[in-house]
Amino acid sequence: MSRIAIVGAGASGLAAAFQLSEKSHEVCVFEKSRGVSGRAASRSRNGCRYDYGANYFKPESNEVAELIFRTLPHDELCRIAGDIWTFDANGNHAPGDPKQNASAKWTYRSGISTLGKLLIDAGNFTLRRESLIEGLHHHKTHWTVKETGGTSHGPFDKVLLTPPAPQSVDLLKNSEASPEMLSDMISVLESVPYHIQFSVMLNFNATLTLPGDAYAMINTDRKHRLAWLSNEGQKQGHVPAGESLLVAQMNPKWSAEHEEDSPPSIIAAAYESVNSLLGNNLPTLHWADTQRWRYAHPNGEAKIEDTASASEIGLYFAGDAFVGKGRVPGALQTGLAAANRMLAHS
């Protein structure tokens, strides 16, 4: 039995923790936030439940489908009604790719963060919330992890890092281990920058629909101020009858240019963009919410093979930096794969 520390309770970290605890390893997950599930995030406000990070998932591999549809409880799963349409820089919209639209899109009735909670309930591991890990220390035979405030935890035989690559880089720069290995791993992770993105949630006291009764609309030429618009009302149990909640994800370039703008000005820009896209007859806003995702999506892909020298001394990696795009199923897959590599080395 190995003692394993996992940094990050997002999809990748929790999938790894679940898998390792199934094989009776002693696992402790350290999560800097109070909530779990990372960017697969949901929030409740004024009777609405909404997904303000990842908006849906489509399991892409048999292993992830097995986990979601069979291993974990699935009575809370909710198949999202409606297609994903497209729009261009000028706001011209069209039905999306029929092949893509034919495959089911999923979330949970209580929000996409239910995925993280189900992995925690099904696994048998320790979870330390509000525990920001700022560095690692490799001793000859084991690892310790350093929490802000100075507390060290350990000993651990193995450590798995799952934060977005730039956050793992900060952590490694503050770590004590072979300098050559650290600098190699920092180079691997620095090859994957992440972009910033604002999510803006707009609530109305009216029932609104998107063109074609679509669930969502995506900007395909990436030149519109909006990258994505979706209707949470298409998800069972998310929005009370007679109301609407639209999720607008702003263009990454626009988000970077407005990084320091105040929430009211971000909300005003999102409202104006959605209004123009939908034909300039949006009702008055009832309430709104915003989230600035500092590390929303990876712009590149690191190769897990390039981390092999670190795993030889018990340091492993997972997360969407190794997928090449922001995807919940991809992140789950990297967590399962990391667990399998650790089991193979046990």
> Where on the chain is the footprint of ligand FAD (CB under 6 A)?
7-13, 30-33, 38-40, 53-57, 132-133, 162-164, 167, 171, 197, 199, 249, 293, 296-297, 319-320, 326-328, 331
Cβ 197 to ligand FAD shortest distance, Å:
5
Q: Sign (positive/negative) of CA torsion 212, 290, 30, 165?
A: positive
Measure CA 108 to chain center: 15
Amino acid identity of residue 62, one-letter, is N
Q: Is 196 left (phi over 0), alpha (psi -120 to 50) or beta?
A: beta
Q: Do residues 277 and 87 lie in contact, with contact meaning Cβ atoms separated by under 8 Å?
A: yes
What does DSSP assign to residue 67? Answer: I
Closer to ligand FAD by CB, 11 or 182: give it.
Answer: 11
Residues in contact with 239: Cβ distance below 8 Å, sequence separation at least 6, in sequence order? 48, 49, 50, 232, 233, 245
CB burial of residue 191 (10 Å; 0-12, 13-18, 19+): middle
Cβ 88 to ligand FAD shortest distance, Å:
20
Closer to ligand FAD by CB, 156 or 281: give it.
Answer: 156
Cβ 35 to ligand FAD shortest distance, Å:
8
Cβ 195 to ligand FAD shortest distance, Å:
9
Closer to ligand FAD by CB, 24 or 28: give it.
Answer: 28
Q: Do residues 46 and 287 lie in contact, with contact meaning Cβ atoms separated by under 8 Å?
A: yes
Two tokens, residue 177: 């281990």
Closer to ligand FAD by CB, 164 or 233: give it.
Answer: 164
Closer to ligand FAD by CB, 206 or 256: give it.
Answer: 256
Closer to ligand FAD by CB, 243 or 320: give it.
Answer: 320
Two tokens, residue 332: 């789950």
Q: Do residues 194 and 295 lie in contact, with contact meaning Cβ atoms separated by under 8 Å?
A: yes
Cβ 229 to ligand FAD shortest distance, Å:
12
Closer to ligand FAD by CB, 286 or 292: give it.
Answer: 292
CA distance 77 to 201: 22
CA distance 166 to 261: 23
Closer to ligand FAD by CB, 314 or 319: give it.
Answer: 319
For strand 26-30 and strand 93-94, is the pairing parallel, antiparallel, or unpaired?
unpaired
Q: Do residues 281 and 193 lie in contact, with contact meaning Cβ atoms separated by under 8 Å?
A: no
Cβ 206 to ligand FAD shortest distance, Å:
25
Cβ 163 to ligand FAD shortest distance, Å:
3
Cβ 39 to ligand FAD shortest distance, Å:
3
